[in-house]
Amino acid sequence: MTSSPAIRKVFQGVASRQQMFRMFDRHAQRPNRWEGDATPLYAGEWFEIAEAEHDYMFEVLPPLWIRGSMFAMCELLTGSVASVFFALRIDEALRYFHGYCDLSDKAFVEAMRVAIVERESRPVRAMTRKERLEHIWSSTADDYRGYAGERWAEASRGKRTVMLYGGKEGTFLTLLEDLTDDEIAAKLPVHLRYLPSPIAA
């Protein structure tokens, strides 16, 4: 079995029900959607939801399993990747999260639980560059994001793209990973633009 993908936060704040359903398939536009194993694309993604959304999802279908304050949806997204919902006490507050876990890895669910608690227990709100890019991808409408196609250099094909407004130059596509700090700030909502980066360990 290949090693588990990085566990990563993909949205800042508490997702609304509409945002939650949209983020369940953040990669719907990917090229060759029905070919290959999409496990590495989804496994490890997580975001926060409200109690109402957590409870709603619990009642939609019978869970595949329930373990303490966690449950898994009975339908798999792809391969062995399933939605797992967490109710976690962090700094004395009960909070709720959704994550995509690779159930073929017996340690994955617990690793995600630990990662969420560790990430959300930071004393100061902060965002890494990767978290900023993931938030931009999660919150950008489908019409303004996509994947680099044949008109791009071969090394860029299949990578995620977003639309930018270039002033007099009009709008243009750029690779998500190539956004400058100024472009990232412009794409983020005001309340997230000036959060510090976490101090490197």
Query: Which of 79, 103, 120 delimits the end of a domain?
Result: 120
* Structural domain containing residue 143: 129-193
Number of domain units in the chain: 2
Identity of residue 121: S
- Find where tokens 């990085």 sit: 6
Q: Is the pLDDT reported for residue 27 higher than 80?
A: yes
Q: If you average pLDDT over residues 147-173, what whole number do you get? A: 85
- In percent, how much of the chain has pLDDT > 90? 47
Q: Which is more confidently placed, 73 or 5?
A: 73
Q: If you average pLDDT over residues 164-186, what whole number do you get? A: 85
Mean pLDDT of the chain: 86
For residue 80, the SS3 value is coil
The order of strands in the sheet holding 8-15 is 8-15, 45-49, 93-102, 81-90, 70-78, 65-67
Distance from chain centroid for Cα 21: 12
Q: Whole-model pTM?
A: 0.83
How many whole angstroms separate alpha carbon 184 and alpha carbon 195? 12
**Which pLDDT does position 76 carry in this prediction?**
80
Q: Is the pLDDT reported for residue 1 higher than 60?
A: no
- pLDDT tier for residue 41 given thresholds of 50, 70 and 90: confident
How many whole angstroms separate alpha carbon 133 and alpha carbon 143? 17
Please tell me whether residues 155 and 86 are part of one structural domain. Answer: no
Please tell me whether residues 141 and 90 are part of one structural domain. Answer: no
Q: If you average pLDDT over residues 167-185, what whole number do you get? A: 86
Q: If you average pLDDT over residues 29-56, what whole number do you get? A: 86
Q: Is the pLDDT reported for residue 56 higher than 90?
A: yes
Query: Which of 65, 94, 120 delimits the end of a domain?
Result: 120
Please tell me whether residues 109 and 157 are part of one structural domain. Answer: no
Distance from chain centroid for Cα 13: 12
Say if 142 falls within a structural domain.
yes
**Which pLDDT does position 193 carry in this prediction?**
67
Please enumerate, as own/partner, the contacts of 156-165 that have beta carbons within 8 Å and a separation of 24 or more. 158/30, 158/31, 162/136, 162/137, 162/187
How many whole angstroms separate alpha carbon 70 and alpha carbon 66? 6
Q: How far is CA 70 from CA 9, 64, 104, 106, 126, in A?
A: 18, 11, 17, 14, 26
**Which pLDDT does position 86 carry in this prediction?**
97
Return left, alpha or beta for 181; rule: phi > 0 is left, psi -120 to 50 is alpha, else beta.
alpha
Please tell me whether residues 50 and 148 are part of one structural domain. Answer: no
User: What pLDDT digit, counting tens, does each position of 107-129 carry?
Assistant: 999 999 999 999 998 766 778 88
**Which pLDDT does position 29 carry in this prediction?**
82
Please tell me whether residues 112 and 149 are part of one structural domain. Answer: no
Say if 198 falls within a structural domain.
no
Please tell me whether residues 32 and 110 are part of one structural domain. Answer: yes
Say if 3 falls within a structural domain.
no
Say if 16 falls within a structural domain.
yes
How many whole angstroms separate alpha carbon 198 and alpha carbon 53? 29
